[in-house]
Amino acid sequence: MDFYLTALLQGLCFSAIALGIYISMKIFNIPDITTDGSYTLGGAVTGIMLTHHQSTWVILPVVIIAGALAGALTGLIHTKLKINALLAGILVMTGLYSVNLIVLGRSNLPVSDLPSLFNSFHLIADPNQNTLIIISIFVIVITFLIGYLLKTDFGIAMRATGNSESMIRALGVNTDRMKITGLALANALTALSGYLIVQFQGFADISMGIGIVIVGLGSVIIAETLINWFKITNIWICLALVLAGAVIFQLVLAFTLAMGVDPNLLKLVTAAFVLLIVSLPRLSFNKAS
Amino acid sequence: MIAINDIHKVFNKGKANQVNAVNGISINIKSEEFLVIVGSNGSGKTTLLNLVAGSVFPDKGTIVIDDNDVTKLADHRRSQWIARVFQNPMSGTASDLSILDNFRLAALRTKSKGLSIGINDQFKQQVKDKIATLGMGLENKIEQPMGTLSGGQRQALTLLMSVMDTCKVLLLDEPTAALDPRSAEVVMRTADKLISDFKLTAVLITHNLKDAFTYGTRIIQMGEGLIINDLDGEKKATLKQNDLFEWFG
């Protein structure tokens, strides 16, 4: 059972990435893969600051700002230099690898015996359940903030930017600035996942971000399938489904491992799983027509 | 209200596919004037409208709106005077957002979109009352996504959205081109009513000569990026529909 609890916890850690991808991909309609770099950046900043005995609450805003800067850079390259968003993301992601290595100072940094977010409170004796409570509160707060933001006038303008650019420009919104803000927000959330994971697993690693974008994409695609299935328009339910998507994704991977699949095949299984979810609605749609 | 002075616009300059879209147009559009622009395809009508809106910038010449030189101002900053209705109903509204969200943004066209929740019961009622004036029965569907409506309904709502906030200039780029004749008539009547009720200065591009004849206080014909006919006031009023057909003869 502990095995699945760990998967649940990991899923909750990844829910920030899922929210970030939801913002860049679904709300702004921008395929942003700065993710791999900004996730590791969040992790690297957390790791190095923990070893320098900084409080987890001091690290939190630094991680958010670092992630936001990475996203804003991608946004600037995309909007001001008119470079394809995918390429802009790849460029920043590639550059960030070196930045992360410099921040981390080495390729792997253990932080497990240092004070972290998860051992700063002791609400319950069982450490796993204690972690579950802390991380749940953390994720609920983030989700609430994002949900509120999307409900505000600014949030409506954000949603319109990815939906009908000509309309929102005619209504007086600077779409370039809006996209830069959106990508900054998305990558700040991604960096938050790095912050959570490093403290959860007890180490920061330079390769922790490789292929992480698929975790976010997979979660969002699971959520989107459910959203389309049940024709949901309520923002709160959409966000809740994105969180559920992140958890389901990790549970499926845990289940795969539990079945005895070679861990070396994990990325292949992940890719196949995402492909399956993406193609499921289309397969059934084809049958109908 | 809108003063355009010797404006030029060339696309793809120096290349084989160079297009001289607008070749030195000067026109003064008075306050509360309803200008109709006709002309064959490629005559520069849409480019002229886009120059006024700020979607494209002129190579030469100046544009003044309400005594402000806006020649170098981006489109999203000209929105403090200008509201637009596009040819494609998709362009003027956001499909995935609810009717209410679309109206909320329209109500903030000249204001900043801040971090507070602006949709409250009072705003909902205001939108319902506005939409009820269309008589399309859409006032009870304001929570529905815009994408569930027909093109005609969306164009009519886009028109209403333009007067949700202070508006001086309304630009209509073939607003009925994608609509069936009945919807087209509803949209044109709505536009005409709003323009006179709110004392707007309006510019309408149309290929429908019947509309060009019926609506507006001034009509110009464009060709080769120039104005080749210009009738206003009395002359527009006494213009016969057959005379218009002869322009294209």
Distance CA A184, CA A71 (A): 4
**Which of 111-130 (B) contact A at CB < 8 A?**
111, 113-119
With beta carbons under 8 A apart, name residues in chain B contacting A152. 113-118
pLDDT in tens, A37-59: 999 999 999 999 999 999 999 99
Strand partners, B172: B85, B204
Q: Is B139 left (phi over 0), alpha (psi -120 to 50) or beta?
A: alpha
Mean pLDDT of all residues in B154-174: 93
Q: What is the pLDDT of residue B241?
A: 84
pLDDT tens by residue, B65-79: 999 999 999 999 999
Tens digits of per-residue pLDDT, A181-233?
999 999 999 999 999 999 999 999 999 999 899 999 999 999 998 898 888 88
At A284 the pLDDT is 62
Q: Which residues of A touch B (CB under 8 A)?
A: 148-149, 151-154, 156-157, 159-160, 163-164, 166-175, 233
Q: How much is the pLDDT for A287? A: 52
Q: Name the band, by pLDDT with cuts 50, 70 and 90, for residue A1.
A: low
DSSP 8-class letter at B111: S
Over the stretch A245-287, which tens digit does the pLDDT of each residue have?
Answer: 999 999 998 888 888 888 888 888 888 888 888 887 777 655 5
What is the rounded CA–CA span in Å between residue A115 and residue A208?
21
Which residues on A lie below 8 Å from B97 (Cβ)?
156, 159-160, 163
What percent of chain A clears pLDDT 70, i.e. is strictly above it?
98
**CA atoms of B64 and B4, how far apart (whole Å):** 6
Measure the CA–CA gap between A32 and A238, rounded to whole angstroms: 20
Dig out the tokens for A181 from the structure.
């803000």
CB contact under 8 A, A157 and B84: no
| The two three-digit tokens of residue B239, written as one number | 């213009």
pTM reported for the whole predicted model: 0.90
Of the candidates A21, A26, A10, A11, the one whose C-alpha atom is nearest the C-alpha of residue A187 is: A21
Residue A243 pLDDT: 96
| B218 reaches A (C-beta below 8 A) | no
- In this complex, which of A156, A172, A175 lies closest to B79 when CB atoms are compared? A172
Instruction: Give the pLDDT of residue A289.
Output: 46
ipTM for the complex shown: 0.88
